[in-house]
């Protein structure tokens, strides 16, 4: 299916929240864990001229952010001449750290060079994402981060963790609990999003079209307990 002109696609995002006591259950199922940052969902459509059309998860333009040359730089050399659509967390107005502004933390893609990726497994899209940006990952700017890999100062790729989490020294089940505990030490981290790597992307025609294959586990706050 072709994506020939701009059409809003509802971003895959979790509806269901789980308590930390259920992390090991999803880990045993072979799901992946990504760190949820304190940002705003951002649907990034990159046109053939490599400029961005950006919308929130409510199908509206962002009120406090507009794409600029810095936020478009990472997409300038995408192959082909068709549209791309990425799903990201926008770190800008919500984050407390003043240094985290105008950053897109990408964790999924829905369209590649004009071809919609309906029916593709999440793991396949992750592999595609890393292959797409591998030549442009800035080795000089790599922070010691459990959450992401740096493409450039304004664009990050989410790291996906599975059982046997090497970065925290884990080799057995229970690593998701360790990763979740680690997020509590960082004010920009809200918790984890767990995703089924084998789940197939459905048509993004509704807000909940792809909510069944991911869940969230959030650090306690005044607003929620998990």
**170-179 per-position pLDDT tens digit:** 434 468 999 9
Compute the distance between CA of residue 174 and CA of residue 23 in angstroms, rounded to an integer: 8
pLDDT in 10s for each residue of the chain, 226 residues: 899 999 999 999 999 999 999 999 999 999 999 999 999 999 999 999 999 999 999 999 999 899 999 999 999 999 999 999 999 999 987 666 666 889 999 999 999 999 999 999 999 999 999 999 987 766 556 666 889 999 998 999 999 998 765 444 443 446 899 999 999 998 889 999 999 999 999 999 999 999 999 999 999 864 444 4
Domain boundaries, the chain: 16-218
CB within 8 A of 153, min separation 6: which ones? 70, 103, 138, 141
- Can you give the pLDDT at residue 169? 42
CATH class in words for 16-218: alpha beta
Residue with tokens 């100062």: 153
Task: Output the CA–CA distances (angstroms, integers) from residue 102 to 31, 76, 177, in the order listed.
Answer: 30, 17, 30
B/e letters for 117-156, b = 16+ CB within 10 Å, e = fewer, are beebbbeebbeebeebbeeebeeeeeeeebbbbbbbebbb
**196-211 per-position pLDDT tens digit:** 999 999 999 999 999 9
DSSP state of 189: E
Q: If we measure between CA atoms, which residue out of 184, 188, 185, 186 comes closest to residue 217?
A: 184
């Amino acid at each position: 299916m072709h994506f020939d002109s701009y059409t809003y696609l509802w971003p895959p995002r979790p509806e269901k929240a789980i308590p930390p006591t259920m992390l090991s259950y999803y880990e045993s199922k072979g799901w992946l864990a990504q760190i949820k940052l304190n940002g705003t969902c951002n649907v990034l459509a990159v046109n053939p001229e490599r400029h961005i059309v950006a919308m929130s998860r409510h199908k509206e333009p962002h009120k406090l952010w507009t794409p600029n040359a810095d936020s478009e730089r990472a997409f300038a050399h995408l192959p082909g001449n068709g549209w791309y659509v990425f799903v990201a967390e926008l770190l800008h107005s919500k984050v407390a750290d003043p240094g985290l502004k105008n950053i897109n933390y990408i964790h999924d893609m829905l369209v590649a060079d004009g071809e919609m990726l309906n029916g593709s497994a999440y793991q396949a899209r992750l592999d595609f994402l890393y292959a797409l940006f591998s030549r442009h990952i800035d080795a000089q700017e790599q922070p010691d981060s459990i959450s992401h890999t740096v493409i450039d100062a304004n664009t990050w790729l989410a790291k996906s963790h599975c059982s046997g989490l090497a970065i925290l020294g884990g080799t057995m089940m229970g690593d998701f609990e360790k990763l979740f505990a680690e997020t509590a030490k960082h004010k920009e981290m809200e918790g984890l999003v767990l995703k089924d790597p084998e789940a197939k992307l459905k048509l993004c025609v509704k807000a909940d079209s792809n909510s069944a294959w991911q869940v969230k586990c959030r650090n306690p706050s005044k607003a929620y307990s998990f």
